[in-house]
Amino acid sequence: MTDKQQDSGAEEWDNLLSHLRQIREQVRQQGPLPDHEKQEVANVFHRGLELLENQVRDMEGGLRGSSGRW
């Protein structure tokens, strides 16, 4: 089950990065986003931050110093 969760997380991460790259290219070519699209991009960005935070927590949970904590 862990492998499926990791694959799902990796796929979600890849999708988020791909979406943000597409937006970046659109902004390069067409200029600033319309206001209604800015919120969508902000939501995607925040979801990416959430994924990173969860990965850090998972890593911290599995890594301990010799004293049993950081």
- Which residues constitute the domain of residue 49? 2-62
Q: Which amino acid is at 19?
A: H
3-class DSSP assignment, residue 48:
helix
Q: What is this structure's pTM?
A: 0.64
At residue 4 the predicted structure's pLDDT band, cuts being 50, 70 and 90, is low
Indicate the number of domains in the chain: 1
Residue 70 counted as domain residue: no
Residue 16 counted as domain residue: yes
Residue 69 counted as domain residue: no
In percent, the amount of the chain with pLDDT more than 90 equals: 44
